[in-house]
Amino acid sequence: MTEKTKGLRPAGGQPDKRRAILTGALALFARDGYTRASLDGIAAEAGVSSRTIYNHFRDKAQLFEAVIQESSGRVADTQIAIIDRHLSKIVDLEADLVEFGTAWVAVMDSAAAPHFALVRQIHAELEHIPQTAVDAWRETGPRRVRGELAERLGRIADRGSLRIPDPDRAAVHLMLLVSNDNLPYGADRRNEKELTAMVTAGVHTFLHGYRP
C-alpha cells in the first residue's frame, strides 16, 4: 500500500503483493504457528488487505504450504552457496570446516532465523500437514541440502582427507555438531565467543570421528 506499483503484472495477482504476503506470512507463521497466526494479522504484517490474500491463495492451508516451499527453497539455496564457497577448494580441512560452520550458524541465527522458526512450527505441526506437502518440503529443503553437503564430503573423502562410509550420515553429523541444532538440550543463548567455541568443538569432534 505504501509503495507504488510499477512494471507489468502477469495473470493471477501482482507479484509484489504475492511476495509481500509470503514474507508477512512467514514472519507470523514462524512466530505464532499455523493455528495462532491469523489471516488479519498476516494481512496487516504484509501491508495488504486480508481480502487480497484470497486472490492469491485458495485458503490458509495452501498459503502455509506456499510459505514453506518458498522459504525452504530460498534458504536451501543460501546454504548450498555456503557449502560451495567453503568446501569446494580445501586448503586446510579443519580451518575450512570451521569457517563453513561459522557461516552456517551465522545464517541460521540472522538472515534465515525466521525460516528455522518456521521449521520448528513444521515439526510441531507434522501430524496436521498433508503428506504430499511434507514430502515436497523435505525434498526441496533439507534433503537437497544434505545431498549437496554429502557430495562435497564424499569428494573430500575420495581425495583421502576423510574416511566416510556413509556420506549422508556424515553430512547429518556435521550439521548437528556445528549447529547444536538450535539449543535443544538446555543450552543457553550464546554470545560470539561461545558460538565459535561451539563450532570449533563440533568440527573437532566430527573431524576426529571421520579422519582416517
Partner DNA sequence: TTATCATTGCAACGAGCGTTGCAGTCAGAT
Partner DNA sequence: ATCTGACTGCAACGCTCGTTGCAATGATAA
- Please report, as residue ranges, which positions from 47 to 66 form the binding site for DNA (by CB under 7 A): 47-52, 54-56, 59-61
**Could you give the CA distance from residue 82 to residue 114 in angstroms, rounded to a whole number?**
18
Which of these ranges, 77-85, 101-109, 141-149, 154-162, lies near a second copy under the rule CB under 8 A? 141-149
Pick from a second copy, DNA, none: which does 60 bind, CB < 5 to 8 A by kind? DNA
The answer to whether residue 187 forms part of the interface with a second copy (CB under 8 A) is yes
Q: How many residues bind a second copy (CB under 8 A)?
A: 46
Distance of CA 32 to the CA centre of its chain: 18
**Residue of 17, 86, 115, 152 that binds DNA (CB under 7 A):** 17
Q: Which three cell numbers stand for residue 163?
A: 574416511
**Residue of 21, 22, 43, 175 that binds a second copy (CB under 8 A):** 175
Q: Which three cell numbers stand for residue 73?
A: 527453497
Q: Is the CB of residue 112 less than 8 Å from the CB of residue 81?
A: no
Nearest to residue 27, comparing CAs of 77, 79, 67?
Answer: 67
Biggest alpha carbon–alpha carbon distance for the chain:
60
Which of these ranges, 3-11, 88-96, 187-195, 201-209, lies near DNA under the rule CB under 7 A? 3-11
The answer to whether residue 113 forms part of the interface with a second copy (CB under 8 A) is no
Q: Is the CB of residue 100 less than 8 Å from the CB of residue 108?
A: no
The answer to whether residue 143 forms part of the interface with a second copy (CB under 8 A) is yes
The secondary structure of residue 141, as a DSSP letter, is I
Q: Which three cell numbers stand for residue 1?
A: 500500500
**Residue of 12, 51, 185, 191 that binds a second copy (CB under 8 A):** 185
Enumerate binding residues for DNA (CB under 7 A): 1, 4-6, 8-9, 11-14, 17-18, 37-41, 47-52, 54-56, 59-61
